[in-house]
Amino acid sequence: MTKSVAVVLAAGKGTRMQSELPKVAVELLGKPLLVHVLDSLVQAGLGRIIIIVGYKQEVVRRITPAYPGVQIEFAEQKEQRGTADALLSARHALSGFSGQILVTCGDMPAIRPQTFQRLLCAGGEPGKEPYMALLSAKLAVPTGYGRIVRTAGAQVEAIVEEKDATPEIKSIEEVNAGTYVFPAPAIFEIMEQIGSNNAQKEYYLTDTVALSRQAGHTVNAVLMEDASEVLGVNSLVDLTVLAEKLAS
């Protein structure tokens, strides 16, 4: 496997969880959400993992277990300015690194190790095409997710967030799973072009797709075999749904 490092986005507060804990520290089946994600990354063969922390980072650091043979690091996102800003928080830690960066969210505990491996094999290697790869899923009710926009030739063209989507784009069933593989260090040059001219006024990691395409690169989407892996945790209801899925 190409040299790879994982970056886990875990800086958020999770205001809808009715808890003062960082969202990734909320427990699911007796284990913090973050630990479910870390377990899968380690099982997928990632030997270096950088966790992006912010809100109550001391809690996130405390719940993070040690894994034999795995290098765990932390990088701080000082302000909550979006997912692209979160990844840029790891730029210093990744100085001198050349290889694949797998970026995933610390509140998505259902992604299996095999799915991470499929994504790593799908692209995002330095100097090769496709330039980047992302996980997608098809949902009958895609409300709330960013939509995968493709060309007439089925090439991935862009990801449009729900709040920025037209009615036509909202009708698209293929959604973004918030998990990517990028080539390092090249991706940071693309990311310098990301702006915050959107409904949330944030710096979206999803903008890397359109910017990569504009630069003449290809983007690969890996459709998840089990769409329920895309499920994240944004509410107590989500927590109950995931508990039923993972316990079955």
Which residues are marked as active site? 16
Contacts of 30 (CB under 8 A, 6+ apart): none
Rounded Cα–Cα distance for residues 27 and 35 (Å): 9
Write out the H or E segment, with its range, that includes residue 237. helix 236-247
Three-state secondary-structure class, residue 133: strand
Give the DSSP per-residue string, 140-199.
SS-TTSPEEEE-TT--EEEEE-GGG--HHHHT--EEEEEEEEEEETTHHHHHTT----ST
**239 and 201 in contact (C-beta within 8 Å)?**
no
Backbone angles phi, psi at 96, to 5 degrees: 85, -5
